[in-house]
Amino acid sequence: MPRMSDNSSLRPDTRSLRPDTRFFMLVLIALLPWQGALRFPTHSITIVKLVGALLFISVLLATLLHDRPLRFTPPIAWAALLCTVATLSLVASGLSPVSISETLRYWTLTLFLFLVVQMIDSREVFMQALRVLCVSAIVGAAWATVQFLDGSVARASGPISDPNDFAYFLAAVLPFVAYLFMREPQRRWLWGTGLACLALGILGSSSRGAFLALGVTALWAILTRRVAPRLLLGGLAAVALMAVLALGLSSARTSQNLKVRQNGLSSSVSLRQVYWSAAVRMSTNHPLLGIGPGRFEAVSPGYVRNTPKLEHEVAVNNTYLGVLSEDGAIALLLFLGFLVATGRQILIATAYPGAREDPRAPGNWLRSAFLASFIVALIGGIFFSAQLSTPLWFIAAFASALALLPADERSSAPYARAPSARRVGRAARGDIAPTPGW
């Protein structure tokens, strides 16, 4: 392994990373699950955007005043190209308010990706950001579960207005909470409670797309020997028991909401098929730049046929068909390039000697968490319009920032759980052999 001094030239200049600048980043990450509940002071100028603007100004000042080099990764380049094509689609389709809003959303998420990559310059900062994201998602899930159980809402959605988007976000965060549960035994009570909250929140959302995404991810984890089948079955049994207990404490209105949701499932499946067919026809008629960002609902009356039921909001509910129909084939290719680049960054960021020998080794825990979250995001994208949802973007941001760290720092954190005081004492007396890496 190279000496620390050999990699010193690769380390980013951290002299300008003031605590208040990092604080803005952590606040921005904490607000990700709460965007739907924090639309103030106005609907267009929200606290999330204000914090993002403060973070951008901080990074800009650090770059100009302290000559701090900017950091770029392949996902940033792919995202910038995607934004450019989305802007061209906006111009070609007309500057409608909804298209402008969707295009700005592309640029905002790309800016978020860029800023997080600038700020996470050590594994310690990465772990801080990961913990903040997980705690924020746990609190949102707990709030949504309470609302669902007392009958205030028909489906758990918490701080994100759409239940499907809410479940998609929680499902993408869940593998990282499981990673922290394994990695930090001293906080296992927190992360164990968090896993329960996330599971109940996803169940309360009744999102079949999230269920399927988690199911496929669980199958992948078993086939790649990352999780023992008995451990997974035990987790499912625990979730089922919690669900039964929670429903036993719920109100009568909750049971009524579940019956209404069950009756609407068949029509929801039919609508999804109709909208997917309409998206394909739109892309056929507008192959290059699409119909324009966010214009599916406005254009759908000319393409939607045999609609079994009208909805208050018409959406493709498929990330890949959504990008193809609204932004065009070029944008879809760039979006797929962004996903491939993100996957490669994950493999670089979580590279560990001996990774292929034992997938369950502590050194592989972070890679398993990243890949599981990424698979959830990819599979969920088949059932959600997720190109402008945050999961794919925070996965890309975290992986890109971690991949830029020197190899010795990426793997320098203690993977193995800390030994207990009793075990340390027994090793000192010579009763047992010390654990390697103490």
Amino acid, single-letter form, for residue 395? I
pLDDT in the model for residue 307 = 59
Q: Which two tokens stand for residue 394?
A: 């925070």
pLDDT in the model for residue 11 = 45
Domain coverage including residue 280: 74-410
Q: Which pLDDT band, with edges at 50, 70 and 90, does 428 fall under?
A: low
pLDDT in the model for residue 269 = 59
Q: How far apart are CA 360 and CA 189, in angstroms?
A: 22
Number of H helices, E strands in the chain: 18, 0
Q: How far apart are CA 28 and CA 101, in angstroms?
A: 20
**Mean pLDDT, range 361-369, rounded to an integer:** 89
**Contact present, 181 and 191 (Cβ < 8 Å):** yes
Q: Is the pLDDT of residue 9 over 70?
A: no
pLDDT 10s digits, 10-67: 444 444 455 667 888 888 899 888 876 666 666 666 677 777 788 888 778 777 777 7
CA 299, distance to chain mean position in Å, is 30
Structure-model confidence comparison of residues 77 and 386, the more confident one: 77
Highest-confidence segment of 218-227, 259-268, 405-414: 218-227
Q: Which two tokens stand for residue 193?
A: 């409670």
pLDDT in the model for residue 107 = 92
Q: How far apart are CA 36 and CA 158, in angstroms?
A: 9
Coil vs helix vs strand at 139: helix
**CB under 8 Å to 217, separation ≥6 — which residues?**
175, 372, 375, 376, 379
Q: Which pLDDT band, with edges at 50, 70 and 90, does 324 fall under?
A: very high
Q: Is residue 401 part of a domain?
A: yes
pLDDT 10s digits, 259-307: 544 544 444 656 778 888 889 999 999 999 999 999 988 888 888 766 5
Q: How far apart are CA 250 and CA 62, in angstroms?
A: 51
Coil vs helix vs strand at 166: helix
**Contact present, 204 and 154 (Cβ < 8 Å):** no
Q: Which pLDDT band, with edges at 50, 70 and 90, does 312 fall under?
A: low
Q: Is the pLDDT of residue 182 over 50?
A: yes
For 406, phi and psi rounded to 5 degrees? -55, 150
pLDDT in the model for residue 243 = 66
- 288-to-85, 100, 226, 382, 428 alpha-carbon distances in Å: 10, 19, 41, 22, 70
pLDDT in the model for residue 229 = 82
Instruction: Please count the residues of the chain.
Output: 438
**Mean pLDDT, range 310-333, rounded to an integer:** 86
Biggest CA–CA distance in the chain, Å, is 80
Q: Which pLDDT band, with edges at 50, 70 and 90, does 6 fall under?
A: very low
Per the listing, tokens 């008995």 go with: 230
* Total number of domains constituting the chain: 1
Q: Is residue 422 part of a domain?
A: no
Q: Is residue 56 part of a domain?
A: no
Q: Is residue 92 part of a domain?
A: yes
Please tell me what DSSP assigns to residue 78.
Answer: H
Q: List the one residue out of 104, 159, 175, 144 whose CA is nearest residue 367.
A: 175
Q: Is the pLDDT of residue 4 over 50?
A: no
Q: How far apart are CA 358 and CA 343, in angstroms?
A: 21
pLDDT in the model for residue 113 = 94
Q: Is the pLDDT of residue 369 over 80?
A: yes
Q: List the one residue out of 322, 341, 296, 325 whose CA is nearest residue 387.
A: 322
Q: How far apart are CA 24 and CA 268, in angstroms?
A: 40
The H or E element spanning position 367 is helix 365-380
pTM of model > 0.75? yes
Q: Is residue 269 part of a domain?
A: yes
Q: Which pLDDT band, with edges at 50, 70 and 90, does 340 fall under?
A: very high
Q: List the one residue out of 376, 400, 387, 372 whose CA is nearest residue 335.
A: 387
pLDDT in the model for residue 394 = 94
Please tell me what DSSP assigns to residue 69.
Answer: P
Q: Which pLDDT band, with edges at 50, 70 and 90, does 373 fall under?
A: very high
**Percent of the chain whose pLDDT exceeds 90:** 41
**Contact present, 166 and 268 (Cβ < 8 Å):** no
pLDDT 10s digits, 64-90: 777 778 889 999 999 999 999 999 999
pLDDT in the model for residue 335 = 96
pLDDT 10s digits, 111-169: 999 999 998 988 999 999 999 999 999 999 999 888 888 777 778 787 887 888 899 99
Q: How far apart are CA 275 and CA 316, in angstroms?
A: 5
**Contact present, 63 and 13 (Cβ < 8 Å):** no
**Mean pLDDT, range 414-434, rounded to an integer:** 47
Q: Which two tokens stand for residue 217?
A: 């991810």
**Mean pLDDT, range 224-244, rounded to an integer:** 77
**CB under 8 Å to 174, separation ≥6 — which residues?**
195, 198, 199, 202, 214, 373, 376
pLDDT in the model for residue 414 = 44
**Contact present, 349 and 397 (Cβ < 8 Å):** no
Q: How far apart are CA 183 and CA 365, in angstroms?
A: 8
Lowest mean per-residue pLDDT among 11-20, 198-207, 235-244, 368-377:
11-20
Q: Is residue 50 part of a domain?
A: no
**Contact present, 167 and 200 (Cβ < 8 Å):** no
- Mean pLDDT taken over the chain: 80
